[in-house]
């Protein structure tokens, strides 16, 4: 089965690409001592957090390794699990480590203009992008090389390992970043009238650390997981349908084609003469989709695959760009919905939030239709396998999307460093422009991640039914109904803990900032330095403390339902959990992004601009939106996949169910 | 089949009870000219709104009557539909008309102390309570008397008629009440520092009208609908299972027993020596549950019914009190969650809302478990019929619950009239106390309505499968998956329109109030009278304008899915729609109630009390919560049932589906 070697080779190529990108960006100059000092503080905080998080993860992982060992083929499952977890953690760790070094280099290159700074940030982002797909493909290919086809289901261990890390990274990073951000904004902007990233704000370093551990490490692990899990799901479906080994190879070939397409499209991810950052990003994404489609046609034709396979892949590729566009339509700067929310801010914070929630609720319909069409296209062109293939098609763009996404926190940090180092106006103008673009890409790639999670979870659901040997899950069976109710319930409870954690930690942060402003004399005139480390510590401790319960909910609920009510009920749980989590995640992400951009719209001078009552109202809306869009919403992605993979993983024990 | 005569007789008895209660309360004195003048203004606004709403309803109704006429047995279906619609409208209209007369009489009796005022408000509320169940039972019994058992499925027309009116009353009333309330509060409390119900606030009459058209007419139609639809669903299940006519009679007997129990328990709904309003309410509910259970045991034993029937009924009865308690636990004044939200308000409006949303998300889990247990108890004691019977058991308490619920808007208005008429301190103290109790009962009865809707929708779902002839709805079929995604989507889109409507209308109201304060000289010193009518007009026009799209979404979506993707997909739609709407409704209702009571907690003097920054933050939270708890949340109840009933109603045409 030589195709494993192809995908292994492409995976290694991708890792090499990532290394070269890392080397190139690290060679760039770092700027002044002041800049280095700030960058170092952010770096130290980020690393410290990730290492402390690792300890919590280790406890969970050890328990799980022991539990898995008791399942059939337990040791092989353990190897797969550990491989998945390590690959995911390496992606997150490596990506973040390069990001915290790319930020200051982006600031420095901003001196030479927007196109230089853009390239530096993109290069830094591509390290995460290509590391993720590289680790994913290499890990899976190696496992496949050692497994016989009859044991393909053990790959779910790899998927579960990736999911577990992703859940930690998303939940912990999400709580951290928003506790710091909300805390910094509530006192800084509303009470003290300080601008964003002002060095006099004691929470400013914590805020920048949060960008890295949340948007960078969290997002990296999340998308890595979607990528890994989607490939695993499609391979499981193929194995379940007893397809030939050539058909079985198709998802791996499509994934490899996606990596090549992403590499080639890096050439388009630059600002040409008279170009803008946004147009460069769109060019890059379009190029990767077109190149991928061409390669995919070639693979389908040369490999004598049914044309329906290619149609499924194309459906997935188009879904990626459609969801991108939809998210931009509802949440992009200056869009109708954003203006509507800013207009509502004239009536006060209350109407701003009401309208922001309304827009978020509304924004979900087009993505749902798009995913539904994707599912139907996949199914009608290539049966159940088509759903898996469509998901692989969409996720084959991961390297490009993740590159663009990691661009966000790098430019965000670059702006912060420029502000804190008091760099000249023209440099800050460049970093501000890129920061604005980064905000939009963060929202749109979040749409990609959420849509990808929904599609891959649907594929996992098919794989689940195979794994537990169900040929139907009848919603008229009251046991299934009960499972569905509990499945719909899961995202509500899960996100309630995250929202509460942010609310609580942000309040502590507010009190700490107020305390420092009150007790450290000269802090507001810039004569005394705030105690940044204390704020970093509050975010770290609270994020880690609040991790445990949501993790347990995601892991224990499916096990409990499976053992108490049996596999029919567990199937029902997935039936309810997947769409409910998908929609809640979209609602939360889009509400938050819209309220964020509504605030920016006011800050751009509309309805009274900065400092006006309308601005104050819009800042409250942004604060409410923060944990929705950066904590609860994205974490639901990871929850969907942890619950799905653990349901498949533990399929063998659900025969012992009570009912 | 003499049992129709029993239930008809009990229904007529209930209507007589309602009439006597109306007569008794209307005989009570109305108070001063000033009080009458205010009460008349509220009454005129409420009546005008309900009449204008009727015109919009009439257009929809005429179209539907024509469409239904083309179905098999179209004319009989039309008769059932019109009966249901008229019964529902009469309930809403009559209840509201008595409520707007009971308010001023409650204020007047407050002069004689809290126990007198309490009795007056309860008496006024009982008019709606007993009218609802009376009309329900009389309407259904009459229809049954004219239908042969083979045509029982035509009863769904009655349920759909009730649902349609309920949807209008809930959506229109909900938008009206919150546009007025939010508009009045945002300027009145936040900008002008006026107290609640201050006559200098131009939106104050509109606010009081809103209490009646929303909480009173809307809630009346909603609970009437749940009652009617639950009975219809259980009868349809019985017909589908080809049960004997004695078994078929069981739900009607249980409903009749519930009415008797409610009448007897009115004797306990009074404040004795040293008693409090809250304890009186709990005594009343407990009495009605105990009496109903005793009567239900007797019916089961004497009628030789299986013991499992009674266990199902008991499950439903207990579910009512459990959901009552749970809602109180999460949202009641002074409860842990409420204090948590008020504490978060110290950090500002942002953290207040974050915590309020977190509490709302959390609060759904116990009600879901309770409903799930109710479904399982029903199913395991009496099969699918048991689910219907459990729902009937719960809803058999409707008269008592609706009496207590209508108590809320009456005491709310009574407080408003006392404030606006500048009555002496001791009178206002009484009305304030009752108003506070009314707020809690409004929240807890909302829990009852939502739980009842979920249970009755589950019963309707079973009836739907019978009606379209499905023996299984397989979630592994991608067409069903697509239906489920769209079903979960429905409550999001539906509520987005309601939230937006409130946000928009509230903004117009804010502008109008600001305009009047600016242009009418002497308005703030009380020397000039505000133009109340203009504010009433804004709320009326906007509520009616915003009605149409949500109505169309609820009616057209199931028809479109049924015709395009067939009955399997439509089954999927119900599978997704019911739990997702149930949970979103609970989340919204409880978030709003918690933020409301958190504000009250601050107003009671905690964390700085009225006028402090914490208070301002809590007011913003209350504003955000208002449309969640009083517009979007409750309207989802009605949406669930409209979608379910129309799916059953149009079952005959779904054989023409495209797929």
Mean of per-residue pLDDT scores for chain B? 92
Mutate to test the interface with B, among A337, A472, A503, A578 (most CBs of B within 10 A): A503
pLDDT digits (tens, 9 = 90+) for B402-421: 999 999 889 988 998 998 88
> What pLDDT does A331 receive?
81
Nearest to B583 among A471, A488, A575 (CB): A488
How distant is the Cα of A603 from the closest Cα of chain B, in angstroms?
A: 18
Mean pLDDT across the stretch B564-573?
95
pLDDT confidence bin for B578, thresholds 50/70/90: very high
Closest residue of chain B to A507, computed from CA coordinates: B347
ipTM of predicted assembly, 2 dp: 0.93
- What is the predicted pLDDT for the residue at A372? 93
Kindly report which listed range (A19-28, A179-188, A309-318, B307-316) carries the lowest average pLDDT score.
A179-188
Task: With beta carbons less than 8 A apart as the criterion, state whether B624 and A353 touch.
Answer: yes
pLDDT score recorded for residue A187: 84
Q: What percent of chain A is modeled with pLDDT above 90?
A: 68
Alpha carbons B601 and B582: distance in angstroms, whole number? 28
CB-nearest to B587 from A354, A492, A571 is A492
To the nearest whole angstrom, how far is the Cα of A620 from the nearest Cα of chain B? Answer: 5
Tell me whether residues A354 and B502 touch, CB distance under 8 A. yes
Task: Give the pLDDT confidence score for residue B195 in this predicted structure.
Answer: 82
Report the distance separating Cα A579 and Cα A560, nearest Å. Answer: 21
Picking from B199, B191, B159, B171, the residue whose alpha carbon sits closest to that of residue B38 is: B199
Among B178, B190, B357, most A C-beta atoms within 10 A, so best to mutate, is B357
Local confidence band at B1 (pLDDT 50, 70, 90 cut-offs): low
* Residues of B with Cβ-Cβ distance to A579 under 8 angstroms: 484-485, 487-489, 576, 580
- Please answer whether residues B475 and A475 qualify as being in contact, where contact means their C-beta atoms are separated by less than 8 angstroms: yes
Q: What pLDDT is recorded for position B448? A: 87
Q: Evaluate whether A137 touches A252 at the Cβ level (below 8 Å).
A: yes
pLDDT band at A145 (very low <50, low <70, confident <90, very high): confident
Confidence of residue A449 (pLDDT cuts 50, 70, 90): confident
Is the model's pLDDT at A194 over the cut of 90? no
Nearest Cβ partner for A354 among B347, B503, B511: B503
B341: nearest CA partner in chain A: A503
Residue A471: list chain B partners with CB under 8 A.
476
Q: What is the mean pLDDT of residues B520-529?
A: 88
Closest CA to A208 of A182, A179, A186, A177: A177
Span A343-370, mean pLDDT? 94
Query: Do A125 and A281 contact (CB within 8 A), yes or no?
Result: no
Q: Give the per-residue pLDDT at A324.
A: 83
For A213-268, give the DSSP string: IIIIIIHHHHHHHHHHHHHHHHHHHHHHTT--HHHHHHHHHHHHHHHHHHHHHGGG
Residues B619, A344: Cα–Cα separation, whole Å: 17
Residues above pLDDT 70, as percent of chain A: 99
d(CA B135, CA B95): 12
- Quote the strand ranges of B131-195, DSSP E: none
Instruction: Please tell me the predicted confidence (pLDDT) of residue B2.
Output: 67
- Give the range among A168-177, A545-554, A579-588, B441-450 with minimum mean pLDDT: B441-450
Q: How far is B500 from chain A (nearest CA, A)?
A: 5
pLDDT confidence of residue A16: 97
Instruction: Kindly tell me if the per-residue pLDDT of A84 is higher than 70.
Output: yes
Q: What is the pLDDT of residue A651?
A: 87
Residue A175 pLDDT level (bands cut at 50, 70, 90): very high
Mutate to test the interface with A, among B337, B492, B506 (most CBs of A within 10 A): B492
Q: Is B474 helix (H, G, I), strand (E, B) or coil?
A: strand
Q: Do A488 and B488 touch (CB under 8 A)?
A: yes
Give the HSE-up count for residue A273: Cα atoms under 13 Å, Cβ half-sphere.
Answer: 0
Least confident of A70-74, A266-270, A420-424, B444-448: B444-448
How many Å apart are CA A241 and CA A192, to the nearest integer?
Answer: 63
* Closest residue to B492, CB basis, from A364, A470, A503: A364
For residue A29, give how far its alpha carbon lies from the nearest alpha carbon of chain B (Å).
Answer: 40
What is the structure's pLDDT at B272?
A: 82
* Maximal CA-CA distance, chain A: 75
Q: What is the pLDDT of residue A435?
A: 86
Higher per-residue pLDDT: A309 or B147: A309
Calpha distance B106→B413 (Å, rounded)? 9
Q: Do A503 and B358 touch (CB under 8 A)?
A: yes
pLDDT tens string A278-331: 889 889 999 999 999 999 999 999 999 999 999 999 999 999 889 888 888 888
| Residue B481 pLDDT | 94
Q: What is the pLDDT of residue A2?
A: 67
- The structure tokens listed for B349 are 């409006």
**pLDDT in the model for residue A614:** 93
Ranges of beta strands (E only) in A414-464 are none
Tens digit of pLDDT for each residue in B353-395? 999 999 999 999 999 999 999 999 999 999 999 999 999 999 9
Residue pLDDT, tens place only, B255-299:
999 999 999 999 999 988 878 888 898 899 999 999 999 999 999
What is the pLDDT of chain A when averaged over all its residues? 92
pLDDT the model gives residue A39: 86
* Residue A298: Cβ within 10 Å count: 12
Alpha helix stretches (DSSP H) within B346-424? 349-363, 365-395, 398-420
pLDDT digits (tens, 9 = 90+) for A427-445: 999 998 898 888 778 877 8
Q: Which residues of B touch A511 (CB under 8 A)?
A: 347
3 state SS for A75-138: HHHHHHHHHHHHHHHHHHHHHHHHHHHHHHHHHHHHHHCHHHHHHHHHHHHHHHHHHHHHHHHH
pLDDT confidence bin for A1, thresholds 50/70/90: low
> Which pLDDT belongs to residue A22?
95
Res A566: pLDDT:
93
Alpha carbon distance B279, B282 (integer Å)? 5
């Amino acid at each position: 089965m030589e195709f494993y070697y192809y995908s292994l080779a492409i995976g290694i190529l991708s890792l090499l690409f990532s290394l070269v990108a890392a080397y190139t960006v690290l060679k760039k100059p770092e700027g002044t001592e002041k800049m280095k000092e700030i960058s170092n503080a952010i770096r130290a905080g980020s690393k410290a957090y990730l290492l402390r998080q690792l300890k919590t993860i280790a406890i969970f992982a050890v328990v799980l390794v022991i539990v898995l060992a008791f399942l059939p083929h337990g040791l092989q499952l353990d190897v797969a699990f550990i491989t998945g977890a390590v690959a995911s953690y390496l992606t997150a760790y490596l990506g973040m480590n390069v990001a915290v070094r790319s930020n200051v280099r982006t600031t420095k290159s901003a001196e030479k203009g927007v196109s230089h700074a853009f390239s530096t940030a993109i290069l830094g982002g591509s390290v995460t992008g290509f590391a993720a797909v590289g680790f994913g493909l290499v890990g899976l290919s190696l496992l496949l090389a050692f497994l016989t086809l009859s044991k393909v289901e053990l790959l779910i261990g790899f998927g579960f390992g990736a999911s577990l890390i992703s859940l930690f990274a998303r939940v912990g990073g999400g709580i951290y970043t928003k506790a710091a951000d909300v805390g910094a904004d509530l006192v800084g902007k509303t009470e003290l009238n300080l601008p964003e990233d002002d060095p006099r704000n004691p929470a400013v370093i914590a805020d920048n650390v949060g960008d890295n551990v949340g948007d960078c490490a969290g997002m990296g692990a999340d998308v890595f997981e979607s990528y890994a899990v989607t490939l695993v799901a499609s391979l499981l479906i193929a194995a379940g349908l007893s397809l030939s080994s050539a058909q079985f190879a198709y998802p791996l070939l499509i994934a490899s084609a996606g990596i090549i397409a992403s590499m080639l499209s890096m050439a388009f991810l630059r600002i040409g003469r008279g170009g803008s950052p946004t147009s460069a990003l769109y060019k890059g994404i379009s190029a990767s989709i077109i190149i991928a489609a061409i390669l995919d046609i070639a693979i389908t034709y040369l490999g004598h695959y049914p044309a329906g396979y290619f149609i499924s892949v194309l459906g997935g590729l188009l879904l990626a760009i459609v969801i991108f566009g939809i998210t931009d339509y509802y949440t992009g700067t200056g869009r109708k919905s954003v203006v509507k929310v800013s207009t509502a801010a004239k009536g006060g914070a209350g109407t701003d939030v009401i309208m922001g929630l309304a827009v978020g609720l509304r924004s979900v319909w087009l993505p749902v239709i798009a995913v539904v069409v994707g599912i139907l296209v996949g199914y009608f062109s290539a049966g159940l396998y088509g759903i898996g293939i469509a998901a692989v098609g969409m996720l084959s763009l991961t390297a490009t999307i993740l590159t663009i996404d990691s661009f966000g926190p790098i430019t965000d940090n670059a702006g912060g460093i420029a502000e804190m180092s008091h760099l000249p106006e023209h440099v800050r103008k460049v970093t501000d422009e890129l920061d604005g673009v980064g905000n939009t890409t963060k929202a749109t790639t979040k749409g990609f991640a959420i849509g990808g999670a929904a599609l891959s979870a649907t594929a996992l659901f098919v794989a689940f039914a195979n794994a537990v040997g169900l040929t139907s899950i009848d919603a008229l069976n009251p046991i299934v109904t009960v499972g569905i109710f509990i499945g719909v319930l899961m995202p509500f409870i899960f996100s309630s803990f995250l929202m509460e954690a942010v609310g609580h930690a942000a309040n502590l942060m507010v009190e700490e900032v107020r305390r420092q402003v009150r007790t450290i004399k000269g802090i507001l005139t810039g004569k005394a330095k705030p105690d940044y480390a204390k704020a970093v510590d509050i975010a770290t401790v609270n994020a880690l403390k609040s991790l445990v319960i949501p993790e347990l909910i995601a892991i224990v609920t499916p096990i409990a339902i499976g053992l108490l009510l049996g596999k029919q009920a567990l199937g029902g749980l997935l039936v309810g959990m997947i769409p409910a989590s998908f929609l809640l995640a979209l609602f939360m992400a889009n509400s938050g992004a819209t309220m964020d951009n509504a605030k920016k719209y006011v800050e751009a001078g509309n309805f009274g601009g900065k400092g006006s009552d309308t601005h104050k109202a819009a800042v409250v809306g942004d604060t409410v939106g923060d944990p929705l869009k950066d904590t609860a919403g994205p974490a639901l992605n990871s929850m969907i996949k942890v619950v799905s993979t653990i349901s498949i993983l533990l399929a063998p024990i659900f025969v012992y169910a009570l009912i």
